[in-house]
Structure formats: structure tokens, C-alpha cells
């Protein structure tokens, strides 16, 4: 049983807690990069959990707004993606998310997204199950064709009402008239200072409450219902893939190591090794769009 420490309401967002890389790691054999050996394990798997992170989306040209050069105007994501920032300046925060939504509408799923979606559809016909557990909020997995998705950090294309709590899907472009043409990332751009009444508003039964992006912000807890479903999938899986994730942010950083601790094969696909690499059976280094498709391709003996 996966321990429930990451599925309680008190768990703080992945955005505000990081792995201590100085933790003492158990000495283990180096993971294998033998594709044929992975394919043999994959051919027998009945319930595959695929954990994905920003590295998958980066290959589609999705900006992260983190690290050196990762600024929107003069701010990074951690400056804007907080309840406090939204309370103090909802216009600025909505400009930031409007920009991100508009950028995402210009991006397309890459070969890694497509390989995962095709794998899910193919295995489903064989009575096998693939579940995507993603930290990404861009919906590229959904656009690639994946259907069994758990979005632990929410979605850019969902909103939540600050008054009535209604969560709704919203792909409008722009999301409201006042944001049309706003959100330019140039550091010399001035805030639009849109009045709150002109920002996205709830359309449920005359509510008209202020909407916010339905994403997990720094300092917020993750959805306990989603995490319970994640726990269930990880308990059931007989193969786990970790794709494009740094394995340094909680609670997602705990998922795959806890699966590996049960003796379940875990395969990591990433541009570089991570603090969790030595816990896994397989590690395939390089762009996910290059390494993942051949790993998930149809076997000759598949129906």
C-alpha cells in the first residue's frame, strides 16, 4: 500500500516543498538502459502508470517561467502563482495566465504525448490499462488523445469561482473581452490594471463571482480526491514510467520511489539523471520525444 502521507488535505503543494538532495541515498545498482529488457517487462504489464512532468511539455516549446531567464515581465511563476498575488492584483495574475493560455493554443503535442496516447488506446483494446498522472497544466496529453488522465496540479483551461466554487472548462480565446491583446511578457509592458468587474466572472445562476485559474498555486494543498485516485492507481500498477520530471518536488517526487520500493519495475525517461534515478530499474537518457516512442511501440506479438 502506498503510504497516505501525500493524500491528506494537509499536504502542501508541490510548488512549495522540494527534495533535500543531500538526503542519504541507499546504495543500489545502476539502472539499466537496455531497451529490449524494458520492452519485455512492458509486454507483460497489465496496469501501467505514467508520471509526467515539465520535461514532456518543454519539447513542445512550452515556457516554464522557472530558472534563469524564466520571467514573465519581471516576475517568475512563484511571484504570481499565489493566493496572495491574486488577492492583491487579480488583473496582473489574470494577464499572466491569459498569456499562458494563448501561448498554449499555439503549441501542439509532441511525439512523446502521442506515443503515450497511442499506447493507452492500443492497450485498452487488449484489456490492459494506462493511466497518465501529470504535473502539467497544459492539457497537451488530452489533445494528443489520452483519456485516462489525473491532473494533480489542475489545468490552464479550467476556472474556479471564488464565490460559489464552481469549476468549469473554459477554452475561450480570449477568456474575457478585457484581456484581449493583454498579457505581453515584455518587461517594459505596463500592467493593464483591469477592474475586477471586467475580469473573468462566474456565469452560474447569476453568481457573477470572480473566477481564478483552477490550478494549484504555491502554498496551496493538492486536491485530496485526485491524490486518493493517484494512490489507487499506484497501488494497482505493475509497471511505472517517469517521463520528463525532475523528481525533486513533493508530493510527486514520492510517487515512483514508493512504487519501486514495492518491487514494481520503474523506468525513467529524462534528459538527465535525477535524485531518484538510482531507485529505478531502468533509465533512458535523452529527449522524451526520442526515447519514449520506441519504448512504447507495438510488439510483434500484440493482437
Residue 26 lies in a domain: no
Residue 241 lies in a domain: yes
* Mean pLDDT, residues 179-185 taken together: 96
- Which distant-in-sequence residues (6+ apart) come within 8 Å of 38 by Cβ? 32, 267, 282, 284, 295
Residue 2 lies in a domain: no
Q: Is the dihedral of CA 144, 145, 146, 148 positive or negative?
A: positive
Catalytic one among 47, 141, 153, 283? 153
- pLDDT score recorded for residue 41: 98
User: Is residue 171 annotated as part of the catalytic site, yes or no?
Assistant: no
- Which distant-in-sequence residues (6+ apart) come within 8 Å of 20 by Cβ? none
Residues that constitute the known binding site for NAD(+)? 53-72, 135-138, 244-246, 270-272, 288
CA distance 233 to 150: 10
Q: Is the domain of 256 the same as that of 195?
A: no
Residue pLDDT, tens place only, 144-165: 999 999 999 999 999 999 999 9
Domain end call among 187, 215, 243: 215
Q: Is the domain of 124 the same as that of 264?
A: yes
Select from 50, 248, 245 the least CA-distant residue to 130: 50
Query: Which one is predicted more confidently, 273 or 9?
Result: 273
Asked if 61 and 103 touch (Cβ cutoff 8 Å), the reply is no
- This prediction has a pTM of 0.90
Q: Is residue 213's pLDDT more than 50?
A: yes
- pLDDT score recorded for residue 67: 58
- pLDDT score recorded for residue 147: 98
Q: Is residue 295's pLDDT more than 60?
A: yes
* Mean pLDDT, residues 77-99 taken together: 96
**Degrees, nearest 5: CA angle 141-258-247:** 55
Give backbone dihedrals phi and psi of 214, rounded to 5 degrees, phi first: -90, 65
Residues that constitute the known binding site? 53-72, 97, 100, 135-138, 161, 164, 202, 207, 244-246, 270-272, 288
Q: Is residue 66's pLDDT more than 50?
A: yes
- Please report, for the domain that includes residue 184, its CATH number: 3.30.1600.10
Confidence of residue 111 (pLDDT cuts 50, 70, 90): very high
* Mean pLDDT, residues 274-296 taken together: 97
Asked if 135 and 252 touch (Cβ cutoff 8 Å), the reply is yes
Give backbone dihedrals phi and psi of 268, rounded to 5 degrees, phi first: -105, 130
**Cα-Cα-Cα-Cα dihedral of 188, 88, 169, 208, to 10°?**
-120
Q: Is the domain of 96 the same as that of 171?
A: yes
Residue pLDDT, tens place only, 120-143: 999 999 999 999 999 999 999 999
Amino acid at each position: 500500500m502506498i503510504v497516505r502521507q501525500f493524500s491528506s488535505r494537509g499536504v502542501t503543494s508541490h510548488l512549495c516543498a522540494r527534495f533535500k538532495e543531500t538526503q542519504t541515498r541507499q546504495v543500489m545498482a545502476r539502472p539499466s538502459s537496455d531497451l529490449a529488457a524494458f520492452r519485455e517487462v512492458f509486454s507483460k504489464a497489465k496496469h501501467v502508470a505514467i508520471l509526467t512532468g515539465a520535461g514532456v511539455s518543454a519539447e513542445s516549446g512550452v515556457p516554464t517561467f522557472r530558472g534563469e531567464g524564466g520571467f514573465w515581465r519581471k516576475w517568475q511563476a512563484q511571484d504570481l502563482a499565489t493566493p496572495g498575488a491574486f488577492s492583491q492584483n487579480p488583473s496582473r495574475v489574470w494577464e499572466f495566465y491569459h498569456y499562458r493560455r494563448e501561448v498554449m493554443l499555439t503549441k501542439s503535442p509532441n511525439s512523446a504525448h502521442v506515443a503515450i496516447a497511442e499506447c493507452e488506446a492500443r492497450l485498452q483494446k487488449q484489456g490492459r490499462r494506462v493511466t497518465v498522472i501529470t504535473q502539467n497544466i497544459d492539457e497537451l496529453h488530452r489533445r494528443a488523445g489520452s483519456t485516462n488522465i489525473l491532473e494533480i496540479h489542475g489545468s490552464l483551461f479550467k476556472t474556479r469561482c471564488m464565490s460559489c466554487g464552481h469549476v468549469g472548462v473554459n477554452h475561450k480565446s480570449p477568456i474575457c473581452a478585457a484581456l484581449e491583446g493583454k498579457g505581453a511578457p515584455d518587461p517594459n509592458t505596463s500592467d493593464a490594471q483591469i477592474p475586477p468587474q471586467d475580469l473573468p466572472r462566474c456565469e452560474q445562476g447569476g453568481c457573477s463571482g470572480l473566477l481564478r485559474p483552477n490550478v494549484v498555486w504555491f502554498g496551496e494543498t493538492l486536491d485530496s480526491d485526485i491524490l486518493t485516485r493517484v494512490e489507487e492507481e499506484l497501488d494497482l500498477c505493475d509497471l511505472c514510467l517517469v517521463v520528463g520530471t525532475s523528481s525533486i518536488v513533493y508530493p510527486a517526487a514520492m510517487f515512483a520511489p514508493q512504487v519501486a520500493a514495492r518491487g514494481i519495475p520503474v523506468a525513467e525517461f529524462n534528459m538527465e539523471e535525477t535524485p531518484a534515478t538510482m531507485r529505478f530499474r531502468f533509465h533512458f537518457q535523452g529527449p522524451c520525444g526520442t526515447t519514449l516512442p520506441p519504448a512504447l511501440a507495438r510488439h510483434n506479438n500484440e493482437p
